[in-house]
């Protein structure tokens, strides 16, 4: 096609809104601010765990814990415009993720007590420079800005009008509810960072669901169990069943659960079965595998409960994605539709379990 | 179901796939097969409209009509594995789309009368080579393979086992219900090609909702109106309100509707208001704009109805995306969650309207 390059710009620029006036902004470096959603303090602020203390962790786990899934910046400003400049490691684009989810930003503003979507930061290749929302009134707004789910955030500066206020705030969410899981926990395939299910749970409940999802690598290794036990929490939610093989589930569940129980004698441990895999609708091998994983986790949790491990719960996952087979991007990873259905099932059960421990 | 006689197909030499199993495949060129979802025949099979007949169309519209949104291949096979090799123009990755949706493939298999997700084709940069599903039984399966929504498909070959059957079939859907619209109609931001809302409507109703969505460019130009009027249909659904400015809506709606009415005196015309724009939650200018667009389309449709244009309907869009502000990827484009909510509202109204014309 002869008119290509110009048209790319025309079409991708896309927005048919009128041109915007230039507003002078000041930029605040988020590395100096408290972060929301941190399980532990880290040397590099946007990492989830500093894995130098855990040399035995598999390299893939160490790599994934440098990704900023679930982290956010909490602040107030009376700026009418909120912008950002940020850089990421620039990992290969996932075929099942939007660039916004993988390496973009996602902004919410509290309105009448609820967190309401305000705008996204569309990423560049490795660095983005975007206005997330403009044309707001001059009232003071309480903001929550989510970082990329599937990339390492290397720098982040938040832009507000030169004369506007900017006040960093601590994590707004109560308790520490740690979710150890798979790519699904990490946020695949939410459409934007704040739609990952732990983030949605936090905004909806006001409680802090900490994202330790590890894409393809929530495999319950001994080193991962030891790391998790080092992280204090009010509940441990284990949503990792999709990643380990049935044999690994048989071999590793007891160590993980017993280690957590020993180090945190009264803390509830909630194990979640795997969502159905729609790739198994016709692929008999894939269908059999997830059935075996789910059977095996039931066996292991039951055995542990029978052997006297208390405060240990299992949530079964039969219809977590509904029944129309339309809730994943690729047969494995829930879309926002899949996560919405998952939360409708999981949220009441999780909240009910937590309530028994005074966590509400 | 009407089955065509087996078509003569070009069998290409199989090549080894990056697969776990060593299964020899034969490849069938889809360019020689009938396509599902075509509004008109075109010189290049995977274009939606051959715009050489419409020189006055804006270049962006011509460009977008080369993209294969809504097109699919319908076939049966008893192969236990279905693969594909395909190439696209390789447009710049949209920040709000998954690569699977933009330039990947999406396969459904009819099971107990329903189209059930079977697998996706994960794209490469410009060419993909993927197994969409494997390990199936040897029964004959009726398949529907959707093409990329946001790229030009330049070639497509479908791979099945060397000794397997392969029969091309005509479009399985009844009627011709043409949807002219914006990026939302084209499929942004469905997670995979078959989740674009016209495709979902077709699979769910068995009726053929033809995708003439034009990302950012469903602006009702005179040349677009003339082109649409040339395409015979059982209903014209105009879901283009998000793209034209309020002034353009005022200036262009009458020509579009009157041209369709004149050329197709008894065909229902259904106009759909714009979905809410979540970017307008705090951006007062964006919020005002969509309200003006929606007010203006009501005025125009009402005026046309009052002036005697019959069989003209308006669907109002107040809560098409729900009320939690969580149904878009970027404040504009519905995710699969947004489309699901949209269809829950739109589907009964559209189907009820069509039923008055015996379209069911």
**Is A43 exposed, middle or buried, given 0-12, 13-18 or 19+ CB atoms closer than 10 A?**
exposed
Query: Does the pLDDT of residue A8 top 50, yes or no?
Result: no
**A187-198 pLDDT per residue, tens:** 999 999 999 999
A22-168 homologous superfamily: Galactose-binding domain-like (2.60.120.260)
The tokens describing B123, both together, are: 């794209």
Distance CA A95, CA A85 (A): 25
The tokens describing B121, both together, are: 């084709």
For tokens 């034009």, what's the residue?
B214
Chain A positions touching B328 (Cβ under 8 A) are 117, 191
| pLDDT value of position A16 | 42
Distance CA A28, CA A314 (A): 44
CA-closest candidate to residue A208, choices A216, A199, A217, A220:
A199
- Asked if A22-168 and A174-355 have one fold, the answer is no
Which value, to the nearest 10 degrees, does the dihedral of the CA atoms of residues A148, A152, A156, A158 take? 10
**B43-95 pLDDT per residue, tens:** 999 999 999 999 999 999 999 999 999 999 999 999 999 999 999 999 999 99
Instruction: Give the nearest chain A residue to B96 (CA atoms).
Output: A98
CA-closest candidate to residue A105, choices A36, A190, A194, A203:
A194
The tokens describing B255, both together, are: 């020509």
Q: In what order do the strands lie in the sheet containing B312-315?
A: B207-213, B174-181, B235-239, B269-272, B312-315
| pLDDT value of position A120 | 98
B 97-156 residues inside an 8 A Cβ radius of A: 97-100, 104, 109, 111, 116-120, 122-123, 133-137, 141, 152
The tokens describing A223, both together, are: 């080193």
Q: Whats the size of chain A, residue-wise?
A: 360
B192 with A329: Cβ contact below 8 A: yes
| pLDDT value of position A21 | 67
Counts for chain A of helices (H) and strands (E), in that order:
9, 15
Which value, to the nearest 10 degrees, does the dihedral of the CA atoms of residues A155, A159, A165, A167 take? -20
The tokens describing B350, both together, are: 């559209």
Average pLDDT, rounded, for chain A: 94
Distance CA A68, CA B98 (A): 20
B59 with A7: Cβ contact below 8 A: yes
Query: Residue A105: beta bridge partners?
Result: A121
Q: Do B144 and B18 meet the contact criterion of CB atoms below 8 Å apart?
A: no
The SS3 assignment for B218 reads: coil
Q: Report the CATH architecture of B11-169.
A: Sandwich (2.60)
| pLDDT value of position A13 | 37
**A277-330 pLDDT per residue, tens:** 899 999 999 999 999 999 999 999 999 999 999 999 999 987 899 999 999 999
The structural domains of chain B, with segments of one domain joined by +, span 11-169, 174-355
Q: Do B169 and B9 meet the contact criterion of CB atoms below 8 Å apart?
A: no
Select from A3, A17, A134 the Cβ nearest to the Cβ of B59. A3
H, E, C per residue of A4-61: HHHHHHHHHHCCCCCCCCCCCEEEEEHHHCCEECCCCCCCCCCCCCCHHHCCCCCHHH
Which H or E run includes B350? Answer: helix B336-355
Chain A positions touching B331 (Cβ under 8 A) are 117, 119-120
For chain A, percent of residues with pLDDT exceeding 90 = 92
A 169-198 residues inside an 8 A Cβ radius of B: 189, 191-192, 195
Query: Does the pLDDT of residue B286 top 70, yes or no?
Result: yes
Average pLDDT, rounded, for chain B: 94
The tokens describing A338, both together, are: 């899949």
Query: Does the pLDDT of residue A246 top 80, yes or no?
Result: yes
Select from A118, A122, A137 the Cβ nearest to the Cβ of B281. A118
The CATH class of A174-355 is alpha beta
The SS3 assignment for A198 reads: helix
Distance CA A16, CA B242 (A): 9
Mean pLDDT to the nearest integer, B40-45: 97
H, E, C per residue of chain B: CCCCCCCCCCEECCCCCCCCCCCCEEEEEHHHCCEECCCCCCCCCCCCCCHHHCCCCCHHHHHHCCCCCCCEEEEEECCCCEEEEEEECCCCCCCCCCHHHHHCEEEEEEECCEEEEEEEECCCCCEEEEEEECCCCCCCEEEEEECCCCCCEEEEEEEEECCCCEEEECCCCEEEEEEEECHHHHCCCCCCHHHCHHHHHHHHHCEEEEEEECCCCCCCCHHHHHHHHHCCCCEEEEECCCCCCHHHHHHHHHHHHHHHHHHCCCCCEEEECCCCCHHHCCCHHHHHHHHHHHHHHHHHHHHHHHCCCCCEEEECCCCCCCCCCCCECCCCCECHHHHHHHHHHHHHHHHHHHHCCCCC
B327 with A336: Cβ contact below 8 A: yes
A119 with B200: Cβ contact below 8 A: no
CA distances A17 to A224, A234, B246, B283, Å, are 49, 47, 11, 12
Task: Please tell me what DSSP assigns to residue B334.
Answer: B
Task: Please tell me what DSSP assigns to residue A274.
Answer: P
The tokens describing B270, both together, are: 């259904």
**A123-178 pLDDT per residue, tens:** 999 999 999 999 999 999 999 999 999 999 999 999 999 999 999 999 999 999 99
CA-closest candidate to residue B168, choices B11, B20, B346:
B11
| pLDDT value of position A22 | 78
Examine residue B145 and say whether the peptide bond preceding it is cis (omega within 30 degrees of 0): no
């Amino acid at each position: 096609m002869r008119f290509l390059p110009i048209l790319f710009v025309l079409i991708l620029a896309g927005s048919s809104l009128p041109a915007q006036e230039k507003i002078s902004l000041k930029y605040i470096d988020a590395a100096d601010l408290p972060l929301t959603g941190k399980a532990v303090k880290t040397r590099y602020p946007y990492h989830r765990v500093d894995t130098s203390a855990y040399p035995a962790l598999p390299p893939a786990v160490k790599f994934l814990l440098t990704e900023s899934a679930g982290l956010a910046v909490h602040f107030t400003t009376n700026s009418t415009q909120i912008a950002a400049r940020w850089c990421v490691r620039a990992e290969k684009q996932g075929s099942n993720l939007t660039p916004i989810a993988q390496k973009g930003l996602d902004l919410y503003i509290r309105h009448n007590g609820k967190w309401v979507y305000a705008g996204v930061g569309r990423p560049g290749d490795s660095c983005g420079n975007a206005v997330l929302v403009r044309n707001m009134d001059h009232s003071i707004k309480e903001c929550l800005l989510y970082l990329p789910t599937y990339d390492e955030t290397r720098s982040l500066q938040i832009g507000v009008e030169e004369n506007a206020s900017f006040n960093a705030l601590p994590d707004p969410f109560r308790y520490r509810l740690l979710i150890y899981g798979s790519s699904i926990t990490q946020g695949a395939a939410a459409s934007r960072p704040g739609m990952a299910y732990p983030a949605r749970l936090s905004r909806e409940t006001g409680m802090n669901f900490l994202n330790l999802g590890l894409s393809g690598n929530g495999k319950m290794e001994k080193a991962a169990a030891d790391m998790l036990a080092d992280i204090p929490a009010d509940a441990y939610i284990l949503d990792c069943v999709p990643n380990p093989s049935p044999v690994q589930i048989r071999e590793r569940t007891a160590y993980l659960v017993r280690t957590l129980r020993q180090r945190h004698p009264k803390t509830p441990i909630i194990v979640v079965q795997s969502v159905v895999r729609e790739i198994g609708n016709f692929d008999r091998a894939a269908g059999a595998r997830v059935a075996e994983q789910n059977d095996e986790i039931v066996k292991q949790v039951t055995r542990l409960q029978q052997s006297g491990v208390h405060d240990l719960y299992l949530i079964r996952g039969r219809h977590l994605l509904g029944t129309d087979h339309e809730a994943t991007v690729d047969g494995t990873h829930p879309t926002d539709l899949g996560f919405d259905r998952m939360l409708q099932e999981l949220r009441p059960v999780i909240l009910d379990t937590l309530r028994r421990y005074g966590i509400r």
